[in-house]
Amino acid sequence: MTTKRSRSLSSAAADSNAPQNGIASLLSPKAQGKRRVTTSSPPPHVGAPPNRLIIAIDLDSFYVSASRLLDPSLIGQPVGVKQKGLLATCSYEARALGVRKLSTVRDALRRCPALILVDGEDLTWYRRLSAKVWRLVRGVVGPWDGKVEKLGLDELFVDVTEMVDAHIRGREEGKTREDAGRVFFQVAPDSEPEAGFWYDTLGKPIGHVLPLDSHASSSEDTPSSTYRSRLILTTHLALHLRNLIHSQIGLTTSAGIAHNKVLAKLVSSRHKPAKQTLFLPRSAEDVVRFLDDEADVRAIMGFGGAIVSKMRESLGATSSEAAANDDASPPLSVSLARKAFPLAHLTTLFGPRLGIRLHGLLRGLDDEEVAPTPLYPLQISIEDTYRGLKGQEVVAEQMRLLAASLLRRLEGELMGSGAGMLSSEPGKAEQMEKQDDRGKWQRHDMPLFLPGEQGNITGKEAPISDQKVIVRCYRERESDPSESSTWQRYPLTVRLSIRHGWGKRTSRSTAMPLDIFDVRTLSRRERAERLAGVLMGLLLRGGPGQGQGQGQISGEALLGGEGLNLINIAALNLATRRPAAQPLRTFFDAGGGGAARQKRDSVDMETLLQLPEDIRREVAAQYGIVLEEQEAVVGAEQESRLDTGCEEDEDDALWDDLPPIPAMDPSSPANIASSSLVCSHCGVAEAPWLQHDHARWPIYGVPAVLLGSATASEGSGA
């Protein structure tokens, strides 16, 4: 995106279908050139590069397969993995006996008394295995700037464009090994025994191909045979990755290969388990025809419950009245959605950005990049559900339990020894890790508990009538944290979310008490106690401001009507370095917001201006935007952004080094008007509205008496 491509405004109204990543991207540059002469030029697309090669990988019935790695006696058996009263997933053997994913445990047992239940509420093992798969794949494609994105625990998106094209370049330059009509695809730049795979040069794809007649008739013209062969080569790479996951980790996968994420994911589920599918359309009509096979728009990633229900509502207003409810009504088909919702309709319902995106999705257009999953997550949270949790002590007790288990997770996932986890060779280290891991896990059989129908005293759970049913739980033996292990990330914020019997979630957040990081001097119980204290404070005494009008979260939540239904605790805002002490929040609230917000507001215009011209005009007209003016404004913004070059934050940098006070330039007259604003005690220049706090809590924003002690406690309202 470095060079600004000249925009040919003369491009005819051509086709709103012609495409960001539709059929234009299926044409080689050469073919595009030809097409440009005969018809009109496709709108220049600024953004996702065309011609991407995307693999979507799906781990087959992941919870079941992962459980089987821990407990081989589950192999070949009907297995259901339960979370509370539901089956999160079940084995294919169970499905053959009539068990359905997401059915209630009671239903499943009725249909299949032999069903073996596995506890899936503690995700530790699944999370670890999932991360291992991600690291394995990233280890292969990473060196080529390949991107690997995790979606949930059991799906990956992989962008292998660079990797495949590098191979093809090497092959054109005669740098690859060939033998009897076969070529070696070397997947690691300089591996000792060459890592990679052989493929034949006949150009036959591996696995299934859609649309069905797509590969049979190989007309030479459109789309370009080069692009087709790149996709076909990608099927070999996909198989290689899947073989790797199977041999190194022991999981089978399904995969889809296409030129964008949405289509790759769609085809990956067309042939299931342990199969792969290539999407190889010859035209935009092929794409649309393929999508029209879907009876439910919800199959398209991006169409969720809220969107579909809003669409159905809007449809019901003009056609039938019975569209009110989600569940009972028949699904909205892709073809109906496309015909009934022209662009203007979608942008009216959902705004320009989302509207345009959905409009594209209905035509198979998706320029969303594969976003590499970072080494550490952006947030870590735990939650549990209840049946009307009431009473301050009862709630406090649960809070302690949840706090302790959050701390266990933070220690497990955010502590380590610096460079430890990176790029281990697939050979020994992985094997060691594998065996190590599994030895520490033990099975415990617990009686089955299900949410009770009749109100019970704890408000939690009641055993179902048949006491003989057991649930297999797998737990890791706790091991001592090694001496060299230190925090790699520090969550600066903790957020409490709750749900009452009735309504939606509400949440609020505050600074993380810093002594939870003191693993050497404080026991987990002690640290959990402190965290739980902060959380109870959040629950009881309303929001950060004093006179908050909407304090629905407080008081009555503990005693009133229905009690708590859900508690979720999240650790977020993960910094790379340990904060010195509690930051002054007011400082950031005052200083930080403005520039970033402005930037974000301008994004809408930028994306609007990047659209194909006809769509841009249509949306602009609908919103009364004068395009010429906006082009000038955005252009100026882009240039000034280059000038300043000071990007600043990038989340951690802001928080890292320093207590916040020096972050504001004290020498700037705009900020500090007179020397009377310099603190008489410590000499730090302070904005007027902070003088009071600063006097109470010099420098670090905590009371001075706490600075000497080993652990500065939270400096919140004392």
Binding region for DNA (CB under 7 A): 83-86, 88, 102, 121, 123, 127, 151-155, 265, 298, 301-308, 351, 353-354, 371, 377-385, 451, 495, 504-509, 543-544, 550, 566, 570, 600, 603
Using the Cα atoms of residue 379, residue 383, residue 389 and residue 393 in order, give the sign of their dihedral: negative
Shortest separation between residue 103's beta carbon and DNA, angstroms: 9
Instruction: Report the 10 Å Cβ neighbour count for 217.
Output: 7
Q: Which is nearer to DNA, 376 or 689 (CB)?
A: 376
Q: Measured from the CB of residue 542, what is the shortest distance to DNA in angstroms?
A: 9
- Identify the helix (H) or strand (E) that includes residue 286: helix 284-291
Q: Nearest-CA neighbor of 494 among 419, 409, 425, 555? A: 409
Tell me how far apart the alpha carbons of residues 397 and 542 are, in angstroms, rounded to a whole number: 20
Q: How far is the CB of 303 from DNA (least distance, A)?
A: 5
Please give the biggest Cα pair distance in the chain. 85
H-helix or E-strand spanning residue 575: strand 564-575
Q: How far is the CB of 534 from DNA (least distance, A)?
A: 13
Q: Select 289 or 298, whichever has its Cβ closest to DNA.
A: 298
Half-sphere exposure of 110 (CA within 13 A, CB side): 8
Q: Which tokens sit at 523?
A: 């026991």
The span from the CA of 279 to the CA of 261, in Å, is 11
Name the minimum Å distance from CB 314 to DNA: 14
| 320 three-state secondary structure | coil
Task: Tell me whether residue 183 or residue 264 sits nearer to DNA (CB atom).
Answer: 264
Residue nearer to DNA on the CB measure, 15 or 296: 296
Q: At what angle do helices 305-318 and 343-361 cross, to 10 degrees?
A: 140
What is the C-alpha to C-alpha distance for residues 680 and 691, in angstroms, rounded to an integer?
A: 11
Pairing of strands 208-210, 276-279: parallel
Nearer to DNA, 85 or 142 (CB): 85
297/580 with CB nearer DNA? 297
181/502 with CB nearer DNA: 502
Distance (Å, whole) CA 561 – CA 461: 19
Q: Which residues contact 393 (CB under 8 A, 6 or more apart)?
A: none
Which positions ≥6 away from 652 have C-beta within 8 Å?
A: 574, 575, 576, 577
Minimum distance from CB of 397 to DNA (Å)? 17
Instruction: Name the β-bridge partners of 555.
Output: none
Q: How far apart are CA 656 and CA 373, in angstroms?
A: 22
CB of 462 vs DNA, minimal distance in Å: 13
Min dist CB 313 to DNA, Å, is 12
Q: Pick between residue 378 and residue 695 the one whose CB is nearest to DNA.
A: 378
Calpha distance 137→251 (Å, rounded): 13
Q: Which is nearer to DNA, 170 or 451 (CB)?
A: 451
Q: How far is the CB of 450 from DNA (least distance, A)?
A: 10
Q: Find the shortest distance in angstroms from Cβ 606 to DNA.
A: 12
Least separation in angstroms between residue 156's CB and DNA is 11
- Report CA-CA distances (Å) from 281 to 212, 278, 285, 454, 692: 10, 9, 8, 56, 67
What's the closest the beta carbon of residue 53 comes to DNA, in angstroms? 21
Nearer to DNA, 39 or 379 (CB): 379
Q: Identify whether the C-beta of residue 514 lies closer than 8 Å to the C-beta of residue 528.
A: no
Using DSSP's 3-state secondary structure scheme, residue 107 falls into helix
Give the span between the Cα atoms of 661 and 666, in whole angstroms: 9
In the complex with DNA, the residue whose CB is nearer, 152 or 561, is 152
Q: Which is nearer to DNA, 156 or 580 (CB)?
A: 156
Q: Which is nearer to DNA, 319 or 379 (CB)?
A: 379
Q: How far is the CB of 548 from DNA (least distance, A)?
A: 9
The two structure tokens encoding residue 536: 């109870």
Please provide the DSSP assignment of 504-541 as one string: -EEEEEEEPPGGGG-TTTS-HHHHHHHHHHHHHHHHHS
What is the C-alpha to C-alpha distance for residues 703 and 709, in angstroms, rounded to an integer?
11
Q: By C-alpha distance, which of 185, 402, 211 is closest to 293?
A: 211
d(CA 43, CA 20): 8
Q: Which CB, 128 or 617, lies closer to DNA? A: 128
- Residue 393 burial (CB count, 10 A): 8
Q: Which is nearer to DNA, 116 or 608 (CB)?
A: 608
Task: Give the nearest distance from C-beta 294 to DNA in angstroms.
Answer: 12
Q: Nearest 5°: phi and psi at 415?
A: -105, 150
Identify which of residues 54 and 687 has a Cβ nearer to DNA in the complex. Answer: 54
Sequence-separated (6 or more) residues with CB below 8 Å from residue 227: 25, 26, 27, 28, 51
Compute the least distance from the CB of residue 389 to DNA, in Å.
Answer: 12
Minimum distance from CB of 126 to DNA (Å)?
9
Strand 116-119 and strand 79-83: the pairing is parallel
